[in-house]
Structure 1
Amino acid sequence: MQEPCYPTAARSSRGKIFWPVGFAGSFHPELTGAQNVRFVARLYGIDTEEMVEFVRDFAEIGQHFHLPVRSYSSGMRSRLAFGVSMAVPFDTYLIDEVTAVGDAAFNAKSNAVLRNRLETSGAIIVSHSMSLLKKLCKSGAVLHDGQLFYYEEIGKAVEHHEHMMKGILPPWMQKDVSE
């Protein structure tokens, strides 16, 4: 059975990490989309008008961008939130099952922008979509019985997860009964 490995050394790094990609919970419902974007831009020291223009064009919600967020459909809030997430270049993105936003064309555009961001940034991705993980990740980790197992190859992490979903341990974790 594979034993958990414990760190023997550590390295500290500093960088900017963003709230979960597509998270809309921090938007003030009484403010317009544009006002919320300006607020986030000021928080992160980003050029306000540049960010407003990027998110307005990216989100494709038309004049709703200038209406209170409380009037948005869930789809419009998702588009706005994803646009804000992609407007600010971060060192690390947190992604929790939110890459499928909107119709097929918007989804393709979102994935293209996300992949572009991930060329120069890292990400911590939580997903049940193995195909998404294989597309976006090189390595992976699986939380199993309270222990985190890290794999250099995403395929090995996916295999571990798939075995768990079937209720069996991966072969490399099974005890040899003949011992």
Structure 2
Amino acid sequence: MIEFENVSKTYHIRKFEKHVFADLNFKIHKGESLGICGANGAGKSTLMRMIAGVEYPTKGKVHRSMTTSWPIGYASCFYHNLTGADNARFISRLYNHSEQAVLDYVEDFAQLGAYLYQPVGTYSAGMVARLAFGISLAIDFECYLVDEITGAGDERFRIRCEEALLHRRDNATLIMISHDPGTLRQYCRRGAVVYGGSLVFYDTIDEANEVHHRLQRLAS
């Protein structure tokens, strides 16, 4: 379970304060698939980083009883001077996984061929995305986070990504952020909307999408 207890988040930027969330209280249980809607700048990615534990709340506490991934497909953590294989080995050590098992999975899933053993700095954007997906999915978590990205590369690779995420949705907890209602509907059963510093939950993703788009029409 992931529990937010009286969580608030404020950024202090020079003499300016940005209040993102105020007194969030909610629980996400094991096995749920949750889609989160919200406008640009509403705080969706901040929320995801707090769920992952890579960013701390200003006030309150976040409790986790599930192992939680970084956002699937996140590529900014790579060392560009290292090869894709060396990055995979490094991350496997951080999470106490077999280096060879992770490398074998990445080699099969990402299908980078000889480029897996070349510096990441030589990769195209699509190749970096393939590597990021492969490493993200090679580590077993009880809760997977997906921030906007659900596929990269050609049609065959996108299908592999979809199948892998659906398998994790059916066997673990999945929390997803996307602006695409169809994507959220494909992967998520329950929905939530970020708006005005709050997070409101709905029984279905369709209801959450409807509320989100209604709020956007009112704002415009």
Same fold (TM over 0.5): yes
1:167, CA displacement in angstroms?
Answer: 2.0
Unaligned runs of 5+ in 2: 1-23, 30-62
Which TM-score applies when normalising by structure 2?
Answer: 0.69
- Structure 1 residue identity aligned to 2:76: G
Distance 1:77 1:53 in 2: 17
| Mapping for residues 61-100 of structure 1, pairs under 5 Å | 61-100=112-151
| Mapping for residues 10-89 of structure 1, pairs under 5 Å | 13-89=64-140
Residue 144 and residue 40 in structure 1: after superposition, are their counterparts in 2 closer, same or farther (change >3 A)? same
Match status 1:141 vs 2:192: yes
Which TM-score applies when normalising by structure 1?
Answer: 0.85
Counterpart of 2:171 in structure 1 is: 120
> What fraction of aligned residue pairs are identical, expressed as a percent?
36
1:46, CA displacement in angstroms?
Answer: 1.0
1:147, CA displacement in angstroms?
Answer: 2.0
SS in 2 for 1:167: helix
Q: CA RMSD in A?
A: 2.2
Distance 2:187 2:156 in 1: 19
Unaligned runs of 5+ in 1: 1-5, 169-179
1:94, CA displacement in angstroms?
Answer: 1.5
1:146, CA displacement in angstroms?
Answer: 2.1
Distance 2:115 2:121 in 1: 11
| Mapping for residues 142-161 of structure 1, pairs under 5 Å | 142-161=193-212
What are the superposed Cα offsets for residues 67-117 of structure 1, whole Å, 9 maximum, x if unpaired? 011111111000000000110111111111110211111000111011111
- Structure 1 residue identity aligned to 2:152: V
Match status 1:109 vs 2:144: no
Match status 1:163 vs 2:214: yes
SS in 2 for 1:22: coil
The runs of at least 4 consecutive aligned structure 1 residues that moved more than 3 Å come to 6-13
Residue pair 1:89, 1:117 contacting (<8 A) in 2 also:
no
Match status 1:130 vs 2:181: yes
The answer to which structure has the higher helix fraction is: 1
Residue pair 1:142, 1:157 contacting (<8 A) in 2 also:
yes
SS in 2 for 1:140: strand
The answer to which structure has the higher strand fraction is: 2
